Amino acid sequence: MNPQSTLPPTPAALPPKTGDPNAAGGRGSKDPRSEVRLFAGLGHVALAVWAVIVIVPIIWTFLAAFKNTSEIFSSPWTLPAELRWENFGRAWTKAHIGRYFLNSVIVVSCSTFLTMLLGSMAAYVLARYKFWGNRAVYFLFVSGLAFPVFLALVPLFFVVKNLGLLDTHTGVVLVYSAYSLPFTVFFLAAFFKTLPSSVAEAGMIDGCGHTRLFFQVMMPMAKPGLISVAIFNIIGQWAQYQLPLVLLSNAKDKWVLTQGIADISVNAGYEADWSGLFAALTIAILPMIIVYAVFQRQIQAGLTSGAVK
Amino acid sequence: MRHGKYPFVIGFLFAPVALYVTFVIWPYAQAFWISMTNWRGLSAPQWVGFDNYRRLLDDGAFWKAVQHHGVLLLALPLITVAIALFFAFLLNVGGKSSGGQRQGVWGAKFYRVVFFFPQVLAVAIIAVLFQMVYRPNESGLINGVLMEFGLEPVLFLVKPNLALWSIIAVLVWQAVGFYVVLFSAGMASIPGEIYEAAEMDGASRVTLFFRVTLPLLWDTLQVAWVYLGIAAFDAFAIVAVLSVDGGGPDGATTVLAMEIYRNAFVYSKYGYASAMGVALFFLTLTFAALTLRLTKRESVEY
């Protein structure tokens, strides 16, 4: 009785009312309107439930960061009685979250820079120059995508140790960069291939050398691809846990954030400083939320771009 | 472009290749060799052939880890893909259609942003977060609620048959948003006319989903499956931080990465740990080859 085209815009998105005459038509009726309503209604419930499942643990953590230990145990679900900022002070100084955070920032910014520089250099040459061994080098890089890092963990530990780089940020930066190269080269090589060669030729005619051509013409043209891969690498390296665990185990002052938080969670149990742990978690999570909120479009594109053609 | 090409190519490739060979290729190559020795770090390694692999066959912890990978491999992709597909369908084509253009339900943008968020958090931090959520007394998020209602607390990470599923739940919690966005990208490239035509023929939502969306999304699904499979083989951070004493209780949640780490860096059994690494390598490879083979299908042109 209702042609679909007359569907009003909003009710379709609302759950069906129980007394809806359209829905009462029985099982056999194929009225698209009630079907849409029911489906969208159930869908909304499911979506809202999942949103709650995602958000609640995080909000709960933020709230607990302001409580004291007895509040955490006696009233886990209420708002904190007062804003206890000293929990954050304890996490920042006593549990060294500030230092771990800074270490993570230093390590990730250095290694992402190195990854992007070396990765785009290699990808550019492999994508746009014909030379003997080109394919072999390309596959050498791309094969790294298939290997689990854990296979290499033991020998890697000794390689780093023999180079005297164990328990140093330099070692971690070099290792992060090396392990980020397969994806970076794989992705950027495909990207550089799509760039028009007419611009490159024009640059050459104007007397541009190979190196200048790369830095002043090709790099700016490849910016969208570079940003995607950079985001992918930043998030991947920020989240690293196993590599720093192995490579920085004996230098507590050089630890990165993930290591630090994991360690605090062990100690919090001994010291019964649960509010300190919640504050530390909040310090670790909050900046990510802010960065994500600002750049969510680019981050979503950057992280999923490797998976879709 | 011929002028000075080779010095330039070599100049640009030297540093990346040197770094990559030193820290990636060389360790990988060594791992295969170390796995054939009894190296424990103090004296020089001795060649023992396949001894380590023979010992692996009798190692209960190893088989437990392999078994857990089996569970993870089935459960993680199945649950994650099912939830993500459902949500992606709702967010992209679940709503009304206006002017032939299918739309998502109301608030689709908001949901996509919120669901994706756990993806930017480090797994180790998520693991600590869920340690708090799962805590077995009234200070835990879930048990706090249960006990408020006078219910018995659930020992998520302590009960052996529940611990692995508690960990899988966290992995799903983190992964769903990523795959919602991934599938959304796939669905966005399906032309609206196909839906329109199907709807004119009287197809219901369910039919639309199974007969139109799913077949046209096959390539993306395959990618998702491989990604989640690799994640199932690489669940170190979450197990190391979240589980009771690293893979416990009593090995109920251990994974190969955990056993490799323990054997190498706690017991200094480098040869044995490397043998496990090689086993993990072949398992991953077999999985990838099998998936690509089993899911091979004529892709639909549109």
pLDDT 10s per residue in chain B (302 long)?
455 788 888 889 999 999 999 999 999 998 888 888 888 877 777 788 888 898 888 888 889 999 999 999 999 999 999 999 989 988 887 665 555 555 667 778 888 899 999 988 999 989 999 988 998 887 788 888 888 788 888 888 888 888 999 999 999 999 999 999 999 888 888 887 887 888 788 777 778 888 888 888 888 888 888 888 888 888 888 998 888 877 778 888 899 889 999 988 888 889 899 999 999 888 888 887 887 777 766 555 55
pLDDT in the model for residue A18? 39
Interface mutation vs chain A, best among B3, B5, B13, B90, most A CBs within 10 Å: B13
User: Residues of B with CB below 8 A from A299's CB?
Assistant: 116, 120
pLDDT in the model for residue A80? 80
pLDDT in the model for residue A79? 80
Given an 8 Å threshold on Cβ–Cβ distance, is A262 in contact with B17?
A: no
Tokens 């830095």 -> residue: A215
pLDDT at A269 over 80: no
Given an 8 Å threshold on Cβ–Cβ distance, is B31 in contact with A209?
A: no
User: Which of A101-110, A226-235, A268-277, A298-307 is predicted most confidently?
Assistant: A101-110
Given an 8 Å threshold on Cβ–Cβ distance, is B28 in contact with A152?
A: yes
What average pLDDT score do residues A273-302 get?
A: 88
User: Residues of A with CB below 8 A from B239's CB?
Assistant: none
Please name the member of A56, A119, A159 whose beta carbon is closest to the beta carbon of B22. Answer: A159
User: Which chain B residue lies closest to A243 (C-alpha atoms)?
Assistant: B237
| Orientation angle between helical segments B108-116 and A274-304, nearest 10 degrees | 120
- How many CB atoms sit inside 10 A of residue B102's CB? 19
The residue that leads in pLDDT, B205 or A101, is A101
What average pLDDT score do residues A112-122 get?
A: 95
pLDDT at A273 over 60: yes
Interface mutation vs chain A, best among B1, B73, B238, most A CBs within 10 Å: B1
Given an 8 Å threshold on Cβ–Cβ distance, is A241 in contact with B123?
A: yes
Please name the member of B27, B144, B236 whose beta carbon is closest to the beta carbon of A242. Answer: B236
Please name the member of A118, A147, A293 whose beta carbon is closest to the beta carbon of B16. Answer: A118
Using a CB–CB cutoff of 8 Å, tell me whether A149 touches chain B. Answer: yes
pLDDT at A261 over 80: yes
What is the percent of chain A where pLDDT is above 70?
A: 86
pLDDT at A271 over 80: no
pLDDT in the model for residue B104? 67
- Dist. CA B247–CA B167, nearest whole Å: 11
**pLDDT tens per residue, range A155-194:** 999 999 999 999 999 999 999 999 999 999 999 998 888 8
User: Residues of B with CB below 8 A from A246's CB?
Assistant: 261, 265
- Dist. CA A57–CA A50, nearest whole Å: 12
Given an 8 Å threshold on Cβ–Cβ distance, is B144 in contact with A77?
A: yes
User: Which chain A residue lies closest to B20 (C-alpha atoms)?
Assistant: A178
User: Residues of A with CB below 8 A from B111's CB?
Assistant: 47, 50-51
User: Residues of A with CB below 8 A from B4's CB?
Assistant: 209-210
Interface confidence, given as ipTM, is 0.86
Nearest Cα of chain B lies from the Cα of A230 at a distance, in angstroms, of 14
Given an 8 Å threshold on Cβ–Cβ distance, is A292 in contact with B12?
A: no
pLDDT in the model for residue A247? 92
CB-based contact A168:B13 (threshold 8 Å): no
pTM over 0.95: no
User: Residues of B with CB below 8 A from A147's CB?
Assistant: 24, 28, 281
What average pLDDT score do residues A195-221 get?
A: 82
pLDDT band with cut points at 50, 70 and 90 for residue A4: very low
Nearest Cα of chain A lies from the Cα of B161 at a distance, in angstroms, of 23
Residues whose CB is less than 8 angstroms from the CB of residue B52 and which lie 6 or more positions away in sequence, other chains included: B35, B36, B38, B271, B272, B274, B275
pLDDT at A5 over 50: no
pLDDT in the model for residue B290? 83
pLDDT band with cut points at 50, 70 and 90 for residue A116: very high
CB-based contact B272:A153 (threshold 8 Å): no
Task: Compute chain B's Rg from CA coordinates.
Answer: 24
Interface mutation vs chain A, best among B39, B132, B182, B219, most A CBs within 10 Å: B132
What average pLDDT score do residues A82-105 get?
A: 87
- How many CB atoms sit inside 10 A of residue A245's CB? 22
Tokens of A10: 């909003």
CB-based contact A244:A256 (threshold 8 Å): yes
